[in-house]
Structure formats: structure tokens, C-alpha cells
């Protein structure tokens, strides 16, 4: 930033105001504008279409005439607007786009503790996810979606990622009869993550069940054959 203020002899003192760049419409492709301000008001600005300076205040007219006559500063400003200024405006936009495209998957864990009333509290924690939106749900035996007891909501971490906790209350009898899992949905995940509660593993894959069944049939056949002989 360079300060600018009008002096009695028509020169501009670079001390009391400010010089800046701005885009005339949203987005990096909007035409930039080079202008000076003084005491909170526009002072003088450059019109790149006509190559002239526009005085917003009466004291700025001598400076307008000086810059349009001398040409050196005017030529520099025209170059600045066409080259360096566009790079200056586009850089933050490009950096912001990179941040928006960033996808960080959550680290998911499930803990279990006994409640004073004898029930069981299951807690699902998601840590370090980005962007912010995330959804946690609870499943029983791999299918039923249950209503959570309480939720922390989506909270920010110091590193700009997010954290969330969801709790489910179940009875001791329910824990013995069913399997419970935390289901997490996030844009960084190709499919929802399923994490089972401690000590309770999820249903065996179909191919494992099929292998066990086949092995049992083969064993039964072998035993039957032995008895026949």
C-alpha cells in the first residue's frame, strides 16, 4: 500500500491516504481498477479504457494533469494493471480453489463404557476430516439404523479439520444379542465407513459362510462314508 494526499503545490504526498487494487465485478476476470483514496474518500483513479486519470476531488485535478502530461507514471500503471495486477488478484482465488478441493477422510473409532444405570454407552468418534459436512449413524446387525442418544455436533480442530462424536445407549441384554456399528458418511469416502463396536464383530462375509457350510457338508459326507464302510 502507498499513501497519497494532495499538497498545496498540486503534488501528491504519499503519506496520508492509500492506494489499492480492486476488481469491478466478482471473480478474477473482472477489470481491475487502480485508485488512490484520502481520508476515507476516493481521491483519484486511473481509467484503463481511456488511459486517463479521473479526479474524484477538486484537489486531485493538478495531480491528474501532471500524470497525464508526464506519461511515465501513467505508462507504468497501465503495464501494472495488465500484468502484475491480474496475477495479484488471481493468486488468492487459485489458492482458495485448492483448499476447497481438498478432501481429508476422517479417522473413525468406536469406544464402549458402562453407564451408572447398568446400560452400555457406545461412542463413535470421527477426527481430522475435511470439508466440514459429515454424518454419523448407528446400525444394529448391519441393517437397522438407530437413534443416537447424544451428539457433539461438528466441531473445529486447531488444524482447520473437524471432529464429531455420537453416542448410543443400549441395554446389557441388547449388547449380548446384537452387533452394533457406527456408520460414517463423508465426501472423502468412496462409500460409507462401518466400524463395529469393541468385542462385537460384524457379520461374516457370504464367501466365508459359504466356505464354512461347504466344509461342514464335506466333513459330514466323509463321516457318513466311514460309517457305511
End residue of a domain, out of 101, 121, 151: 101
| Burial class for 60, CB neighbours closer than 10 Å (0-12, 13-18, 19+) | buried
149 and 176 share a domain? Answer: yes
pLDDT band (50, 70, 90) for residue 11 = very low
Helices 72-82 and 61-70: crossing angle in degrees, nearest 10, is 90
* Chosen domain end from 51, 78, 101: 101
Collapsed DSSP state (helix, strand, coil) of residue 12:
strand
Looking at 101, 132, 158, the residue that finishes a domain is: 101
pLDDT greater at residue 76 or residue 229: 76
Are 93 and 112 within one domain? no
User: Considering its fold, how many domains does the chain have in total?
Assistant: 2
Segment among 23-37, 106-120, 147-161 with least mean pLDDT: 23-37
List, for residues 110-130, the tens digit of each pLDDT value: 999 999 988 999 999 999 999
Go through 201-226 and write b for each residue having 16 or more CB atoms within 10 A of its CB, e for each that does not. Answer: eeeeeeeeeeeeeeeeeeeeeeeeee
113 shares its domain with 140: yes
**pLDDT score for 102:** 82
Looking at residue 122, what DSSP letter applies?
A: E
Name the residue range of residue 143's domain. Answer: 107-198
> What does the pLDDT average to over 168-197?
92
Amino acid at each position: 500500500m502507498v499513501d497519497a494526499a494532495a499538497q498545496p503545490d498540486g503534488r501528491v504526498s504519499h503519506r496520508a491516504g492509500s492506494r489499492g487494487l480492486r476488481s469491478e465485478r466478482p471473480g478474477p476476470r473482472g477489470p481491475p481498477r487502480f485508485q488512490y483514496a484520502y481520508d476515507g474518500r476516493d481521491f483519484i483513479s486511473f481509467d484503463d479504457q481511456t488511459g486517463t486519470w479521473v479526479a474524484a476531488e477538486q484537489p486531485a485535478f493538478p495531480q491528474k494533469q501532471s500524470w497525464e502530461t508526464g506519461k511515465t507514471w501513467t505508462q507504468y500503471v497501465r503495464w501494472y494493471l495488465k500484468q502484475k495486477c491480474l496475477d495479484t488478484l488471481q493468486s488468492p482465488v487459485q489458492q482458495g480453489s485448492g483448499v476447497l478441493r481438498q478432501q481429508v477422510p476422517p479417522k473413525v473409532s468406536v469406544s464402549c463404557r458402562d453407564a451408572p444405570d447398568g446400560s452400555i454407552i457406545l461412542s463413535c468418534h470421527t477426527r481430522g476430516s475435511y470439508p466440514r459436512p459429515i454424518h454419523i449413524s448407528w446400525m444394529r446387525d448391519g441393517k437397522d439404523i438407530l437413534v443416537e442418544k447424544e451428539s457433539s455436533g461438528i466441531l473445529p480442530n486447531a488444524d482447520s479439520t473437524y471432529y464429531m462424536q455420537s453416542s448410543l445407549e443400549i441395554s446389557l441384554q441388547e449388547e449380548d444379542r446384537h452387533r452394533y456399528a457406527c456408520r460414517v458418511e463423508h465426501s472423502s469416502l468412496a462409500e460409507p465407513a462401518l466400524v463395529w463396536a469393541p468385542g462385537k464383530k460384524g457379520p461374516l462375509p457370504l464367501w466365508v459362510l459359504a466356505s464354512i457350510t461347504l466344509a461342514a457338508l464335506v466333513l459330514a459326507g466323509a463321516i457318513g462314508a466311514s460309517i457305511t464302510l
